Amino acid sequence: MIYLDNSATTKPFPEVVDSFVAVATNYFANPSSLHGLGMKAERLLAQAREQIAAMLRVKPNEIVFTSGGTEANNFAIKGVAWQYERRGRHIITTKIEHPSVAEPCRQLEELGFEVTYLPVDREGRVSVEQVERALRDDTILVSVMHVNNEVGTVQPIEEIGALLSRYPKTLFHVDRVQGISKVPLDLKQAGVDLCTISAHKFHGLRGAGLLYVREGVRLAPLIAGGGQERQLRSGTENVAAIVAMAKALRLAMERYERDIGRLQALKDEWLEALSAIPDIEINTPRDGVAPHIINFSLKRGVKPEVFVHELEKNGIYVSTTSACSSKKKAPSKTLLAMGLGEDRAERGIRISLSFDNSREEIAPAVAAIKQAIKTLSEVTE
């Protein structure tokens, strides 16, 4: 198997699975319970919070555990909107955000909020000047992703944060789901108020994530109940998955320190090999991008979803748009926003690497890609 769909989800590290099993087996009590078993689970939860906070260089009380990136993004956007709506009802985001940002924004529009969707340039990047022009007295939130999940473009988060430091009434949310452990970002230095992370994107388990909430920022809770997570996110915490997330983040960041150069070199080799295929067009920019995402478009007549299944016959796994949108068979909104045209946007394919991928996979995978294009082209001719 050659797995090239790591932006959709990563394979959990074996040590992470072991941690989950050990905690789920031996520390299964509710961390809110008063008895000894509950207190042991609570201590594990607190320890995981401290470890994650240290790795992110934030305070433990700024970490709110969630079920994953989608919940955290919804919490950030709706939580700000409902908490600060008396201050203003205007939100700024971009045209290339993940659905878990775009859809909450559209829901808020139905409730009377106004959302400005900023365009991006040919490389999929929003400009700080556009953000500044869109700011208004009633702007309560700017939400910009760190790394685009389809083409890998890194957004100017530090520059936007510097701009917003002059607008203290406007909060800054960053969806860092694709950037964590791949592209560095100091949340404090960048002036980020809210930041989303999801465990299964860095070899953790699905069902665990977090929202960084800068000290002093207030949010209206989405989920009411027992008042867990400092009254911000009710529901019994998934201690085993959270402990596993802490371990996954530590291991992933160790891999970053050790292997980021190798991963970038691997991506460069992939780009060189793919660029030599006449029947595809590379969509991922060359500069200012993450080291693990490559997007290209197929020749006309080759349907992306059929191409994905054709590669699967050889044990090679890639994707079309983001995993959350891949079954909708709609053109990539990111490629459309980049101005690449609807035809090219309908034929996008994403390869996404992890630190576990190797050079030895490139030749057989590229050969299979060439053969799949040839086979499917003959079918349509």
Q: List residues with catalytic annotation.
A: 324
Residue 19's nearest CA partner among 11, 27, 31 is 27
If one counts every other C-beta atom within 10 angstroms of the C-beta of residue 16, the result is 26
Backbone dihedral region for residue 152 (phi beyond 0: left; psi -120 to 50: alpha; all else: beta)? left
Please return the burial class of 101, using the count of CB atoms within 10 Å of its CB with bins 0-12, 13-18 and 19+.
buried
**In angstroms, rounded to a whole number, what is the distance separating the alpha carbons of residues 333 and 320?**
12
| Element (DSSP H or E) covering residue 375 | helix 362-380
If one counts every other C-beta atom within 10 angstroms of the C-beta of residue 35, the result is 9
Residue 348 · residue 283 · CB < 8 Å: yes
Strand ranges of the sheet holding 293-298, from the earlier edge strand across to the other edge: 280-282, 293-298, 348-352
